[in-house]
Amino acid sequence: MRKSFRGGVHPNDQKLLSKHAKLRRFDPKGEMVFPLAQHIGKPAKAVVKKNDSVLVGQVIGEADGFVSANIISSCSGKVKAVEKRRIISGAMAECIVIENDGLFTTIENLGESTDTDSLSNDDILLKIQKAGIVGLGGAGFPTHVKLKPKDPAAIKYILANGAECEPYLTCNDQLMQTEAPAIIAGLELVLRLFPNAKGVVGIEDNKPEAIAAMKAAATGHDKIEIRALRTKYPQGGEHNLIQTVTGIDYPVAKLPADVGCVVDNVGTIFAIERAVAHNEPLFTHVLTVSGDAVKEPGNFIVRDGTCFEELIEACGGLKEGAVLKKVLSGGPMMGFAVGTLGVHVQKTTNGITMLAEDPAEDAARRMTACLHCGRCTTVCPAGLLPQLMAEAAEEKNWERYEKKLYGLECVACGSCTYICPAKRPLTQTFKQAKAEIQAIKRTAASGGAK
């Protein structure tokens, strides 16, 4: 058996639904919505106003500070408004709304090839920064920040994350199959920034075609290794990927760079290659539309800002007879439920999962008291004790929760909730506990300031 992190679960991966659907470009017709905050850090500042004309590839939101990212238009047309709109998270947030003219006229030089050999490290980083690239695995951390650690020489591994451990999602599988050489080229570009690093592409072993394609593309690249990983959720989690490849467990307070690693999603690496070698900023990425409620699940190269509804129509709409119960942005383990299909794709949206059956609803109905069976403890990839954490949270014993049980180390991967035979909403409890503890700390801090 392949070496892997401890714990983890094996949900039905449901990947067959869309596994063989080739990547399709999808050009939307309706209005496009670009939230100014779709990355970690400060929201971007809008640099266009109502009635401005914009082109594909144009910067419409400018990074505000170093830890922030540009927002790029993915269509041509007129700015309709800069206003608050409901976004995927359910919140109302400031967005740039563009009336799409359907022509997709691009800015000059877009897609123009560059000789990357002549570029300096700073040139590469600048291009990445300008292209508005953020981590496409889901977190949305600005990539140029990640690629500028304090000591680049201390980085030993660049991990290209192609695990794709979320059930239903297959877009990175398809991306690796069709764009393997570009991903390898992108990884080589990143490796140039780190003199002592070695590149490892981690792919779960349920994607043999992708592994084969990547291996073929990596021949002759001495610093790059393609590694098959055991298929197990959350293999694609940053902590778990690092654990698997290097054997190091590190706390949430530390960054991967602190243990000599930089982790980037294969989609992000691909975006780096497009930006650096082809002068194409980040305005498209791959996305899977799947689930038991959708007629023809598919994998798309989707433009940022596209409405969910249009993508679902592109998949033939709902399956006959299916009653849509739940729509998830992302996969079913860490994705979140959206309240309406009128929301728009963001940079970090890697999947739309349409469910006719809602196991979570079912679970709420069948919940029993905690059995203390310890299955949550067995599967927790961080080695936490979810059962005791839930007890402490229930008693609001935050001292024990944080200090004795290290409750804040939970990254909400959902493994414990998934496995719980008593169907208890553990992950939800831990998210709330985290919020509550942080609120208490903030109050204490502000109280101290007064």
Partner 1 sequence: MNTALNLSSGPHVRDRWTTRFIMHVVCLSLLPAAAVGVAVYGLRALWIILVSVITAVGTEFLFDKLLHKPDTWKDGSAMVTGLMLALTLSPATPLYEPFLGSLFAILVVKCCFGGLGKNFINPALAGRCFLLISFSNSMTKYSLVDGVTTATPVEELANGNPVNITEMFLGLSNGVIGSSILALLAGGLVLWALDIIHGQICFSVIGAFTLFMALFGGQGFDPHFLAAHLCGGGVILGAFFMATDYVTSPVTRLGQTVYGILIGVLGAAFRIFGSAADSFSYSIIIANLFVPLIDTYIVSKPYAFRKKAIQLQSGEETKPFFKRIPKPVIALTAIALLAGVALSGVYSMTKETIDDQNRKKAWAAYQAVVPQAVSFEEIPEASEKSDDVYGSDFGRTYLNEAVVGKDASGATAGYAISVTCAEAYDGNLTLSVGISPDGAVNSIAFTELHETPGKGSLCDDPKFKDQFNGRSVSSFRLLKDGGSTKEDEIDGVSGATISSKAVINAVNAALDFYQNSIRGE
Window 302 to 331, contacts with partner 1 (CB under 8 A): 309, 317-318, 324-328
Q: Which is nearer to partner 1, 180 or 334 (CB)?
A: 334
Q: Which residues contact 359 (CB under 8 A, 6 or more apart)?
A: none
The structure tokens listed for 75 are 């269509």
Which position among 51, 342, 438, 443 is part of the footprint of partner 1 (CB under 8 A)?
A: 342
- Could you give the CA distance from residue 397 to residue 8 in angstroms, rounded to a whole number? 27
Q: Which is nearer to partner 1, 50 or 431 (CB)?
A: 431
Q: Which is nearer to partner 1, 84 or 372 (CB)?
A: 372
The distance of closest approach from Cβ of residue 33 to partner 1 in the complex, given in angstroms and rounded to an integer, is 16
- To which H or E segment does residue 274 belong? helix 266-278
The distance of closest approach from Cβ of residue 420 to partner 1 in the complex, given in angstroms and rounded to an integer, is 8
Which position among 71, 384, 390, 393 is part of the footprint of partner 1 (CB under 8 A)?
A: 384
Stretch that binds partner 1, among 108-116, 216-224, 257-265, 294-302 (CB under 8 A): 257-265
The structure tokens listed for 180 are 């393997």
Q: Is residue 18 within the footprint of partner 1 (CB under 8 A)?
A: no
Q: How far is CA 109 from the centre of its chain?
A: 29
Q: Which is nearer to partner 1, 14 or 268 (CB)?
A: 14
Residues 234-253 that bind partner 1 (CB under 8 A): 239, 243, 246-252
Q: Which is nearer to partner 1, 142 or 234 (CB)?
A: 234
DSSP structure class, residue 297: -
Q: Which is nearer to partner 1, 127 or 232 (CB)?
A: 232
- Could you give the CA distance from residue 48 to residue 133 in angstroms, rounded to a whole number? 20
Residues 356-375 that bind partner 1 (CB under 8 A): 358-364, 366, 368-375
Q: Is residue 4 within the footprint of partner 1 (CB under 8 A)?
A: no
Q: Which residues contact 162 (CB under 8 A, 6 or more apart)?
A: 172, 176, 201, 202, 203, 204, 207, 210, 214, 265, 266
Q: Which is nearer to partner 1, 67 or 154 (CB)?
A: 154
What are the Cα distances from residue 285, in Å, to 81, 125, 363, 435? 24, 20, 34, 31
The distance of closest approach from Cβ of residue 212 to partner 1 in the complex, given in angstroms and rounded to an integer, is 29
Q: Which is nearer to partner 1, 12 or 120 (CB)?
A: 12
Q: Is residue 11 within the footprint of partner 1 (CB under 8 A)?
A: yes
Closest CA to 15 of 252, 205, 254: 205
DSSP assignment of 142-192 equals BHHHHT--S-GGG--EEEEE----STT--HHHHHHHHSHHHHHHHHHHHHH
Which position among 332, 345, 352, 433 is part of the footprint of partner 1 (CB under 8 A)?
A: 332
3-state SS assignment for residue 320: coil
Which position among 255, 341, 356, 437 is part of the footprint of partner 1 (CB under 8 A)?
A: 341
The distance of closest approach from Cβ of residue 327 to partner 1 in the complex, given in angstroms and rounded to an integer, is 6
Contact 412, 406 (CB under 8 A): no
Looking at the DSSP assignment, which residues form a beta bridge with residue 228?
A: 203
Instruction: Count other Cβ atoms within 10 Å, centred on residue 84.
Output: 12
Which position among 4, 89, 378, 437 is part of the footprint of partner 1 (CB under 8 A)?
A: 378
Q: Which is nearer to partner 1, 78 or 156 (CB)?
A: 156
Residues 43-102 that bind partner 1 (CB under 8 A): 90
Q: Which residues contact 409 (CB under 8 A, 6 or more apart)?
A: 251, 252, 382, 384
DSSP structure class, residue 396: T
Q: Is residue 286 within the footprint of partner 1 (CB under 8 A)?
A: no
Q: Which is nearer to partner 1, 13 or 273 (CB)?
A: 13
Q: Which is nearer to partner 1, 181 or 359 (CB)?
A: 359
- CA quadruple 350, 246, 158, 66: dihedral positive or negative? positive
Residues 135-194 that bind partner 1 (CB under 8 A): 167
The distance of closest approach from Cβ of residue 114 to partner 1 in the complex, given in angstroms and rounded to an integer, is 37
What are the Cα distances from residue 212, in Å, to 131, 180, 217, 242? 30, 10, 9, 22
- Could you give the CA distance from residue 220 to residue 213 in angstroms, rounded to a whole number? 14
Mark residues 395-424: x for contact with partner 1 by CB under 8 A, - for none.
---------xxx--x--x-x--xxxxxxx-
Q: Is residue 438 within the footprint of partner 1 (CB under 8 A)?
A: no
